[in-house]
Amino acid sequence: HLLFSMITPVPWLERVPTYKEKTENLQIESASYGLLGYPVLQAADILIYKANVVPVGKDQLPHLELTREICRRFNFLYGEVFPEPQAKLTKYALMPGLDGRKMSKSYDNAIYLADTAEETANKIRTMFTDPERKLRTDKGDPRVRKCPVFGLHLIYNKKETDEIEAACKSAELGCVDCKKRLIKAMNDKLEPIRARRRELEQNPKQLDDILAAGAEKARKAAAATMAEVRSAMNLD
């Protein structure tokens, strides 16, 4: 991280969209290096293991592009050490949050895998919906107006989305009932994950062993990369 920070121009970091977004949304007047330089830390985490492919959300693509820029600059200055990592997007590359922005812990608008079924239901009940539907009889347009409830239906309740969209547009389906259907769909999909989590929580030693084995493997890979980096930079 320190070595990469020495070759990364500040303007590269200032143009990262998520940096601008966080300073505006969180009303930060004087950002710390921790916020500004976080993408450099991400780049170090990726490149130290010489990753070729990185699974990311759509909002993280600018961070990965910065990683590629840092990679290219290092390789230009010191020789070919790192491969340029490529993005691997999932089918649903951006998860809508409770308030319509991207789902993020920083925005306090997330539904967590650790949430209970009731906690999930309570969060969904508070979600923003189509802003033009002020009355139950108002007709909506959830896709065009980017209703976050409909956005989660597209992920967790795909088979019913055509019906829900049509019923919203005709005002046959109200927002409260739409949320009830999402609550059921999400809890049905998340229950197997919650069950597996509860099962793993009953055996903390197994989790510790898995983490320890992974950490040891990561340390060996990181040590090999750092030896190569020091040699390339004549820091031996």
**Which residues make Cβ contacts (< 8 Å) with residue 218, sequence separation at least 6?**
49
Q: What is the pLDDT of residue 92?
A: 86
Return d(Cα 26, Cα 141) in angstroms, integer. Answer: 30
Count of C-beta atoms within a 10 Å radius of residue 98 = 20
State both tokens at 1.
Answer: 């991280």
User: Higher pLDDT residue, 18 or 75?
Assistant: 75
Model confidence band, residue 126 (pLDDT cutoffs 50, 70, 90): very high
Q: Which domains does the chain have, with CATH numbers?
A: 2-94 (3.40.50.620), 105-201 (1.10.240.10)
Q: What is the pLDDT of residue 42?
A: 94
Question: What is the distance between the alpha carbons of residues 77 and 80, in angstroms, rounded to a whole number?
Answer: 9
Long-range contacts of 21-30 (CB under 8 A, 24+ apart): 22/106, 25/101, 25/107, 26/106
Output the pLDDT for position 200: 92
Q: Do β-strands 86-89 and 53-56 pair in parallel, antiparallel, or remain unpaired? A: parallel
pLDDT of 199 reads: 93
Active site residue 50: no
Residue 22 pLDDT greater than 80, yes or no: no
**Active-site pick, 20, 50, 58, 105:** 105
**What's the whole-number mean pLDDT along residues 199-221?**
96
H or E element at residue 55: strand 53-56
77-94: average pLDDT:
93
**135 Cβ contact list (under 8 Å, min separation 6):** none
Res 29: pLDDT: 78
Q: Which two tokens stand for residue 179?
A: 């949320």
Q: Which residues share a beta bridge with 53?
A: 86
Active site residue 184: no
Asked if pLDDT for residue 222 goes beyond 90, the answer is yes
> For the segment 173-187, what is each residue's pLDDT rounded down to a tens digit?
999 999 999 999 999
Residue 22 a catalytic site member: yes
Query: Span 210-214, mean pLDDT?
Result: 97
pTM of the predicted model, to two decimals?
0.80
Q: Tell me which of 50, 58, 102, 184 is the catalytic residue.
A: 102
DSSP state of 59: G
* Average confidence score pLDDT of the chain: 93
Average of per-residue pLDDT across 127-136? 91
Model confidence pLDDT, tens digit, residues 40-67:
999 999 999 999 999 998 888 999 999 9
Alpha carbon distance, N-terminus to C-terminus of the chain = 18
176 φ/ψ angles, rounded to the nearest 5 degrees: -65, -45
Contacts of 114 (CB under 8 A, 6+ apart): 197
